A = this chain, B = another copy of it.
């Protein structure tokens, strides 16, 4: 069986990669963490629900996606171990989400409820800094994605994607990668073939 304390310790290590935490800070944080187990294809959040937790992938792989009016899936976020995953829109605005957050493998998530997190913001000095920094890098990453959207064609985007997500990319089915990149899966398949030799 899995040792939950070890998992929680993993999140503490993750925090320590960015901010300083005392032993008592760590204990305080650990006391607020909840662990959730998800089977493949299970949902952590579905449209209509309000996202009330910050969520950290401890093991496994997930994605955030939504369905447009034509019921097409569009993937907004992919994530694996040690990535945060959420619909921040819903979390921050307290409005119902339009997103699905789904496990793509057997997955373990560590969550903090927004109430607990607010307390931690007050009680653990460096906690706001952690989320400020996270938020900043998330913003920069999203801006990068916007830039790619504006200036790259489909193959360039794909090519950048696989070089950026080295190895990780194999954990996601191709049709999900296509939906992340904003192209039809058949077209991605066509591109892969066309450029087959050139792929690094």
Contact = CB atoms under 8 A, between A and B. Distances in A.
Contact of A136 (B92, B145, B179): B92
Interface in A106-159: 128, 131-132, 135-136, 138-140, 142-147, 149-151
Query: In the complex this chain forms, how many copies of it are found?
Result: 2
A68 interface: yes
A74 interface: yes
B147 A76 contact: yes
Interface residues of A, number: 29
Contacts of A72: 151
A159 to B, nearest CB: 14
Which DSSP category, helix, strand, loop or mixed, fits chain A's interface? Answer: helix
A190 interface: no
B146 A68 contact: no
A55 to B, nearest CB: 16
Contacts of A144: 89
Contact of A149 (B66, B140, B143, B149): B149
Nearest to A132: B132
Contacts of A145: 146
Contacts of A138: 139
Interface string A150-182: 110000000000000000000000000001001
11 contacts: A76-B143, A76-B147, A88-B140, A89-B140, A128-B128, A132-B132, A135-B136, A146-B146, A146-B149, A149-B149, A149-B182
Interface of A: 66, 68, 72, 74-76, 88-89, 92-93, 128, 131-132, 135-136, 138-140, 142-147, 149-151, 179, 182
